[in-house]
Homo-oligomer: A and B are copies of this chain.
Amino acid sequence: MIVDVSAEVLENVRLSPEFNVLSLAAPAVARLTRPGQFVMVRVRPGLDPLLRRPFSVFEILRDDAGQPRGISLLNKIAGVGTGWLYRAEPGTRVDVLGPLGQPFAPVDPPAEAWMVAGGVGLAPFATLAEALALRGTSMTLFYGARTAEALYRTDLFERLGARLSLSTDDGSRGAHGRITGPLEQALDALDGRPVTIYACGPTPMMRAVSALAAHRDAPVFVSLEPVMGCGMGGCYSCVVRVQAGERGRFVRSCLEGPVFDASTLVWEALPAGH
């Protein structure tokens, strides 16, 4: 089921000049959301901007009795819409349509789950980590960012029992360099243990993860972030190429994704990303 709610902004925690976590009163959406699903957000009334913006559901917010009362978004300023959501004050409202898209399938023990996040690509993993924790699946968050300050909300994942493997471009926290470094080392140390990898971040990163894992026969599921006009399968704007026949074919990532088995994608046809 898909709902559209006019959600009050409950809280806006600015993590940096670029990132914030926006809490929204949207119990109906919160109740329905499965790990890795997204919502389409109309950032303000009126016709400018016209279209909604897609956002992963970051956290499911719960009241003291554990009942879903809303969702949060991990928002990174990219332009006008994300700029509004960065500045949104508590009390204002945004329209939230969802939940949408194919969720992650959380893997069961004894397989391990590795989540590989680059920057704002952390967003879909909080819901996945919750689901994994419920199943008792052992999990690791590989998380890379530019600097130590840009590694956000690792506490959420630690609380759910995830191991952390961090990296920063400047070496200020964790490994120095891209997150694919620690990932490759971990893969080399696997020693036959089964692992399922989930990745979200810049396209080149996801592609690299996919290549690394393919060598080791580890399944990889990526969450893509193409431009989306509707999120409902109506417009055919969000297509990505999947393997089929000689040339492959375009499928709508709002319906058949945003989560894809990395091995089914035609990576060359994916926009390099934003």
Residue of B nearest to A50 (CB): B48
Q: How many copies does the complex hold?
A: 2
The smallest C-beta distance from A56 to any residue of chain B, in angstroms, reads: 26
Interface of A is mostly: loop
**In whole angstroms, what is the CA distance A89 to B92 when docked?**
11
A interface with B by C-beta (< 8 Å): 46-49, 80, 89
* Chain B residues, CB < 8 A from A80: 46
* Chain B residues, CB < 8 A from A47: 47-48
* Chain B residues, CB < 8 A from A89: 89
* Chain B residues, CB < 8 A from A48: 46-48
- Counting chain B CB atoms within 10 Å of each CB, the highest count among A48, A49, A89 belongs to A48
**In whole angstroms, what is the CA distance A89 to B91 when docked?**
11
The smallest C-beta distance from A43 to any residue of chain B, in angstroms, reads: 11
Question: Which 6 A-B residue pairings sit nearest by Cβ, starting from the closest?
Answer: A46-B48, A48-B48, A47-B48, A46-B46, A47-B47, A46-B49
**In whole angstroms, what is the CA distance A48 to B49 when docked?**
9
The smallest C-beta distance from A80 to any residue of chain B, in angstroms, reads: 8
* Chain B residues, CB < 8 A from A49: 46
**In whole angstroms, what is the CA distance A89 to B89 when docked?**
11
The smallest C-beta distance from A86 to any residue of chain B, in angstroms, reads: 14
**In whole angstroms, what is the CA distance A262 to B49 when docked?**
44
* Chain B residues, CB < 8 A from A46: 46, 48-49, 80
